[in-house]
Amino acid sequence: MSEEKRALTAEDFTRLEVYSDPRFTPGGEAYTYISTAINDKNEYESHLFHQKVSESKSSQWTFGNVKNSSPRFSPDGKKVVFQSNRSSIPQLWMLNTNGGEAKQLTFFKNGAVSPVWSKDGNYIIFHASLNQDDNIENQKELSKEERQKEKKDKENEPLVVNRLKYKSDAKGFHDHKRSQLILLDVENENFTQLTSADADHSFQDISPDGNLILFSANLNEDADYELISDLFTMDLKTKKINKLTCSDGAYHHAGFSPSGKKIACFGHGFTHKGATLNELYIFDIKTGERSTISEQWDMQLGDLMIGDTRLGESENGPVWSEDEDSLFFLATDHGATGLYQVSLNSELKVLYKDDNHVFGFSYDAGTNSFILGISTPTNPCNFYQLKQDDKLIRLTNANADFLEEVHLSEPETLTFTAKDGWEIQGWLLRPYDFEEDKKYPFVLEIHGGPHAMYGQTFFHELQLLAAKGYVVLYTNPRGSHGYGQEFVDACRTDYGGGDYTDLMSAIDYTLENYSFIDETRLGVTGGSYGGFMTNWIVSHTNRFKAAVTQRSISNWISFYGVSDIGFFFTEWEHGLNLLDDPAKLWEFSPLKYAENVETPLLILHGELDFRCPIEQGEQLFITLKHLRKDVEFVRFPGANHELSRSGKPEMRIERLNHICRWFDEYL
């Protein structure tokens, strides 16, 4: 049969509006959000929108080929502060809500980000990147020409490295600047530097009475060797700092209760290294006592859903109810994320959970209602109001024209049994213009992490492969979040073991239960950990006729020293560091088994990937090519580990086209 709607294309993600960061305005009558899109210059731009909950249309408040984000209303609702790169680097700007042009508030040389108002509206606290000897009183924003000259000068200087954490995939090579907390007196327009330690500080909240700020940092001498993140309070009058935690874990998304007597936060003590589930903690400000609300739960707090179009931040930590009797938060469970409520005696209630992805929320105590950001496999995003009576009211109609025009495949949820009896969840997409009596080629997609989750959210790459005529299977093998602590921990020290057999069991189950799949035309692809697993699969079985490995790991011995996380991730995931037992790390390395590879393999890698550096792809390519295997290597200039999600649009399109080309050629 013929579809009324057309098939999805690689370029179609450039037509999408992606919503994020819903925020009720004071009084709860309206809310703001950020919409990110790709403009006619093929660049990302983000704008602030405002909408009354009683109306169906929103108003755009910012314009131009710029990125605006983090809008925060003053307590009286008359002003909104936000960050914008309209002056070439992110700075803070202010809008009057009754109209007028935005006013630039900061002119810091390295920018200013993440503004938050004090509860009385007199101050704004934000982050600024500073050197130890910088004076905030004489900050001057560089012109475009001055910035280009500074960049060129740096390119001609050697990089002196004396720290273990000297680079990251997000920032590239680090300098000596640190993220410090700055207070802006709004009326007098002067600045006060609140923190100055040689550490990155992350603002969390300000107390209702305005006397204390809450921030996280690692202020220990051995911070360069640790992944600890402690919580601290600072008295704004005396600048006295009080440490709330004991350097026993990582604490984040912290906030004061409405009375200021308690603090709630997420965190964990690395009991299962990087696979540890978050806990929900409550701190008593007066006594310093800490209690754990989530001890009896076995689910991941927060949003761990993986997608490739979620541009913009929406993640929420625990949010207090007005009466301080309960907290609201998102959690990740069985391929979906939902909104939950918990009382202080640990009574858990699901406020909203369906077969979809709640990517953000905002709570208004006055109306006791929520704004939910929701994505589904066939709808990238929309906002809804959730009222007291559990009634869900859609507020936006994002991407309506696109959705009317383009066919998207509705996933079928399946559950199969692994070799050791564990239940594994997955989803199957039928191809465009599907006919039951035809045979179709098949692609297995493997997510990265490995401690993340596929699920009920919009995923352009998966839909594209279905549009190109492939049956697409994506699963959550052991190691994935959403199925409890034992499950997410189960792949550690066993890469290529149970996780591999889970995926093979998924293939066996699918072929047995879906007669329209051509078992002679199977493909496999994945990125990061999914790239490692793709490499492992093609070096341990020849059942696949084509494979695409993306930003992958091929050699754990070299990964230890070249990745921005290798020095701790290797021990986290394999239970040992390089010098503990290099021979054992070699056993886990797909490169060791390169002679076994018979599957045509396409290797995709970003030149500036510091998470899984490009030498991982190079080693695999040279080895396979030297062995005269069928292999091709595509290197993406200027791209880091996030190429598939937030890379340059033209590079993202090229990547997708290469994936489709390879599968079309061999399947």
Q: What is the DSSP letter of 5?
A: S
473: Cα separation from own chain's centroid? 22
Q: DSSP letter string over 252-279?
A: EEEEE-TTSSEEEEEEE--TTGGGPPPE
* CA dist., res. 459 & res. 354, Å (int): 17
C-beta separation of 454 from 414 below 8 A: no
d(C-alpha 164, C-alpha 225), whole Å: 7
**CA–CA gap between residue 533 and residue 549 (Å, rounded):** 9
> Has 641 been annotated as catalytic?
yes
Q: Provide the residue type at 472 as one letter.
A: V
Q: Which of 126, 269, 118, 313 is nearest to 202 (CA)?
A: 126
Cα separation, 319 vs 317, in Å, equals: 6
Continuous H helices in 516-611 = 529-538, 556-562, 566-574, 582-587
The residues, any chain, with a CB within 8 Å of residue 323's CB and separated by 6 or more, are none
Which one-letter amino acid corresponds to residue 250? A
The CA distance from 374 to 357, in Å, is 5
User: Taken in order 388, 393, 395, 396, is the CA torsion positive or negative?
Assistant: positive
- Among 373, 365, 541, 308, smallest CA distance to 32 is for 373
CA distance linking residue 8 with residue 552, whole number of Å: 27
In terms of C-beta density within 10 A (0-12 exposed, 13-18 middle, 19 or more buried), how is residue 417 classed?
A: exposed
What φ, ψ does residue 440 adopt, rounded to 5°? -125, 145
In this structure, what token pair is assigned to residue 539?
Answer: 């070096």
DSSP assignment letter at 645: H
The SS3 call for residue 370 is: strand
**Diameter of the chain by CA atoms?**
76
Residue ranges of E strands in 239-364: 241-243, 250-256, 262-268, 279-284, 290-292, 300-301, 319-320, 326-333, 336-343, 348-352, 357-364
Q: Closest by alpha carbon to 38, among 660, 650, 641? A: 650
**Torsion angles phi and psi, residue 659, rounded to 5:** -60, -50
Catalytic site includes residue 528: yes
Residue type, 45: E
Burial profile 182-194: b = 16 or more Cβ within 10 angstroms, e = fewer = bbbebeeeebeeb
Q: Which of 528, 539, 552, 589 does the annotation list as catalytic?
A: 528
The one catalytic residue among 74, 641, 644, 658:
641
Cβ atoms 17, 398 nearer than 8 A: yes
Give dist(CA 402, CA 547) in Å, integer.
31
CB 448 within 8 A of CB 481: no
**Backbone dihedral region for residue 641 (phi beyond 0: left; psi -120 to 50: alpha; all else: beta):** alpha
Residues with a known catalytic role = 528, 641
